[in-house]
Amino acid sequence: MNSRSRIGNILGERGITLVEVTVVGVLAAIVMLALTGFYVNSQGTWIDSSSQAVTQREASLVLETLTDSIHVASSAIVTTGTLILNNADGIERSRFWLEPSDQRVHVGGGNPSVDQGPLETSRATQFVVAANDSMVYVIALQLHTASIDSVTMSTAAALINRVPPP
Amino acid sequence: MRRSEARATASRTPRRGAVRVWDNERGLGLFEVIAGTVVATLAVLGLAYTFGVGRGLIDRYEVARCAIGEAQHVVDSLSLVRPANLAAGNRRFEVAGVTAGATHWTVTPVDDPLDGTAASTPPDPSPVDLYKLTIEVDWGTGVMADRLQISRFVAAQ
């Protein structure tokens, strides 16, 4: 067989018909749509999960920061949702509050108190605290993820450095 | 034709065999397509399952973090109680106002060997030097049951 006849063999192929192209196109489109839907759903699940994990870590971090500050404080008062921790001499040591302008839990320090900025990047919608002579109760700390999910945590910490009653 | 001559002829005309193979392509069989589809479906389902499991674990960790807060709450509360009044107890474990499990704690007297052991001669005058507080938080049921335990020593006097 010479080279011309070989080329003729190849050129003699009938190719694919319009119906075949249409069927393959429809099937490919269905498969691609299904894969795209799966990818988008998976991506959404992944983003939700990771932002939920980040928010949980941030809530734990806020609670740990609060607990550490409470342990070294001598007394605590709560006024209009703001937790104020004092030294043994009654001078303010630090304060924590939910700042409505950016919806973050802020920490302040010094006397007079200076806002040292937010403790977390997640949006907070609840920061409920209560205090007595010996304990501070974080009744609810609610943080929101980038999606609609929320994380609510609570704890309590003792004022270990409290001034003992006479 | 001897074998060596045939091999030499074949090596001189390699493209002829290639064209024949091209002509004889039969395409994919139905069973090959079905097998490929089943394998691909299993792979996709497996991937989707891992996403669901990952999300479930993250939700589980949320309760675990709340349990840590609960255990620290109980530890700090017990640290304020006079050592003589320490006693075992329990309370509900709540997450966002909903009961998720239970918290139990026990108080175990501990003899610090630094001042002599109780059975020694002369006997230890104060065999209870410390109290070991053990707090357990249990939540979930069945295969999802989970438990967190922390301990702290407090002075007995």
pLDDT at A18: 87
Which of A154, A160, A163 would best serve as a mutation to test chain B binding (most B beta carbons within 10 A)? A154
A1/B16 Cβ within 8 A: yes
Chain A residues closer than 8 Å to B54 by CB: 45-46, 49
pLDDT at B142: 80
B136 part of contact set with chain A, CB < 8 Å:
no
Number of CB atoms found within 10 A of residue B49's CB? 10
Shortest distance, CA B65 to any CA of chain A (angstroms): 7
Is A56 among the domain residues?
A: yes
Q: What band does A124 get if pLDDT is binned at 50, 70 and 90?
A: very high
Q: Is residue B127 within 8 Å of residue B151, measured between CB atoms? A: no
Is A165 among the domain residues?
A: no
pLDDT at B132: 94
Provide the residue range defining the domain that includes A142: 51-158
DSSP-derived pairing of the beta strands B130-139 and B98-110: antiparallel
pLDDT at A90: 87
Q: Taking residues A135-147, what's their average pLDDT?
A: 91
Is A9 among the domain residues?
A: no
pLDDT at A154 over 70: yes
Is A64 among the domain residues?
A: yes
Is A136 among the domain residues?
A: yes
pLDDT by residue (tens digit) across A7-43?
A: 555 556 667 788 888 888 898 899 889 888 888 888 8
Provide the residue range defining the domain that includes B120: 3-155
pLDDT at B124: 81
Nearest to B77 among A52, A153, A156 (CB): A156
Query: Closest chain B residue to A35 measured between Cα atoms?
Result: B44
pLDDT by residue (tens digit) across A47-84?
A: 888 888 999 999 999 999 999 999 999 999 999 989 99
Q: How many domains does chain B have?
A: 1
| Predicted TM-score of the model (pTM) | 0.73
pLDDT by residue (tens digit) across A103-114?
A: 999 999 877 888
Residue-by-residue pLDDT tens, chain B, 157 positions = 455 555 545 445 555 555 555 566 667 778 888 888 889 889 888 888 888 888 888 888 889 999 999 999 999 999 889 888 999 999 999 988 889 999 999 999 998 888 777 777 777 878 888 999 999 999 988 878 899 999 999 988 7
A126 part of contact set with chain B, CB < 8 Å:
no
A36 part of contact set with chain B, CB < 8 Å:
no
User: What gap in Å lies between CA B126 and CA A98, rounded to an integer?
Assistant: 49
Query: Closest chain B residue to A149 measured between Cα atoms?
Result: B59
Shortest distance, CA B9 to any CA of chain A (angstroms): 14
Q: How many domains does chain A have?
A: 1
pLDDT at A99: 94
Is A18 among the domain residues?
A: no
pLDDT at A137 over 70: yes
pLDDT at B19: 55
**Percent with pLDDT over 90 in chain A:** 55
Nearest to B65 among A140, A153, A158 (CB): A153
B47/A63 Cβ within 8 A: no
Chain A residues closer than 8 Å to B70 by CB: 154-155
ipTM exceeds 0.90: no
pLDDT at B138: 95
Number of CB atoms found within 10 A of residue B139's CB? 22
Report the SS3 class of residue A62.
Answer: helix
pLDDT at B27: 74
B65/A56 Cβ within 8 A: yes
pLDDT at B2: 53
